[in-house]
Amino acid sequence: MEILYKSTRGNNETVTASKAILQGLSADGGLFVPTQIPSLDMDMETLAKMTYQEVAYEVMSRFLTDFTKEELQDCIEKAYDEKFDTRDIAPIVKADGTYYLELFHGATIAFKDMALSILPHLMTTAARKNQVKNDIVILTATSGDTGKAALAGFADVPGTKIIVFYPKDGVSPIQEKQMVTQKGSNTYVVALEGNFDDAQTGVKQMFNDAELAEELLQAGCQFSSANSINIGRLVPQVVYYVYAYASLVKNKEIEPQETVNVVVPTGNFGNILAAYYAKQMGVPIDKLICASNENKVLYDFFTTGTYDRNREFILTSSPSMDILISSNLERLIYHLTGDDSEQNRAFMDALSKDGKYTITDAMKTKLADFYGNYAGEEETAQTIRRIYETAGYIIDTHTAVAASVYQKYKRDMRDDKKTLLASTASPFKFTRSVMNAIDHSYDEMTDFELVDELAKIARVKVPQAIEDIRSAPVLHDTVVEKDEMKGIVRKILGI
């Protein structure tokens, strides 16, 4: 069955998966969605016998139907290799009565590696399939993790350049060091005097700038995106929810077809949308528990049906979730309208103009799959400390937000169903926040002293991603204001 893609804001025009991946964002400003969610149509006992790479093929081949078997398997083999420090790729750890799906065993120790390890290969394959001769310029905004994972994935990939914007004071010291020390003749990192939403808005404006697009074409370039607005980012994320469920079956933690809940810490909504797509494919998932930090725009949406970004932007210890414009929510809104692009466009226009929109009562009834809540800074720290003291397991701040929200879910809903929790980053990526949560006596240590102490108390090896940046020189030191983003892109590309 062929799966095509259409815009959440467009008419009924469709494109192939490879063209959707190449474009990243539709020309009308919408996001590409599949014309239908394919069925998994395989029993879990069969999937349970497969490797991560084999499950990846079964899932992705159903979405990316214009890729040949050989093309897709080649992309998968290049992506999920020794870059990951565990053969399982996405192992599950049982702790504190929950199944933690560890998505941080890739090159940059965050869940973005799961998709950004394969996106460059999907994109270059898509370019060949569509006879694209231009250089692909990856233009992306990051709240911390996407930037480094994208840089690592695209570094020195022929026919590509990558420009990453990040909020100067909105990422952790380790996240920033990872980005500004990135090697690669085609990599460019720019700090922005603003927050993540400023960076994301600026990037979207450049994607929709017809004059800039023409200048790029004259220079032999074209934009694409590595953010989760790119369907080539989202589809690989569906894989690990399918694999995780199959792993629980394999390890006899659940019976085949037994329903489980899934908890996801999210700001941009892409990671939990992937779980929603996995459920639509047929994975027996019951509740999708959406965990927010103090920037609780998603919690408020699930509680009231109104999405309102008109509020204070709060810098937290879980910076990858410090987001007020959750771009991937648009895909869910589109599905809630019954795939009505005109109605969806009206919501998005209202968001752009007024900063908010309210969905209809009929759409609210379709949110029954979801539960939303949030965790404050002190709750997050207490959760890290509690799980370390009671289970000897150390989690990062984002995972702690999810673990805290899960406790609220169990209290509110009285549901003890077995639950999978997406652990989205290594605690080594947010060492100071994690160690301060465990014991404030660590305040005087340097960042890398804290790294060594964390390894000691967790009884684990320091990840190679951290070792690599201990003494690495800063290679990127450009800082710009919001209104200078287009100018610096022109300068980088020589146009």
The residues assigned a catalytic role are 112
| Chain centre distance of CA 349 | 24
Distances (CA, A) of 285 to 35, 257, 261, 288, 422: 22, 9, 6, 8, 14
3-state SS of 330-362?
HHHHHHHCCCCHHHHHHHHHHHHHHCEEECCHH
Q: Is 312 exposed, middle or buried (0-12, 13-18, 19+ CB in 10 A)?
A: exposed
Q: Amino acid identity of 127?
A: A
Phi, psi of 375 (to 5 degrees): -130, 135
Nearest-angstrom CA–CA distance, 428 and 448: 10
Nearest-angstrom CA–CA distance, 285 and 260: 5
H or E element that contains 135:
strand 135-141
Tokens 């017809």 correspond to what residue?
A: 210
Task: Judge whether 355 and 309 are in contact, CB under 8 Å.
Answer: yes
Task: Judge whether 423 and 395 are in contact, CB under 8 Å.
Answer: yes
Residues in Cβ contact with 207 at an 8 Å cutoff, skipping those fewer than 6 apart: 24, 25, 29, 139, 223, 225
Nearest-angstrom CA–CA distance, 275 and 269: 10
* Token representation of residue 4: 């095509």
Tokens 């989205």 correspond to what residue?
A: 424
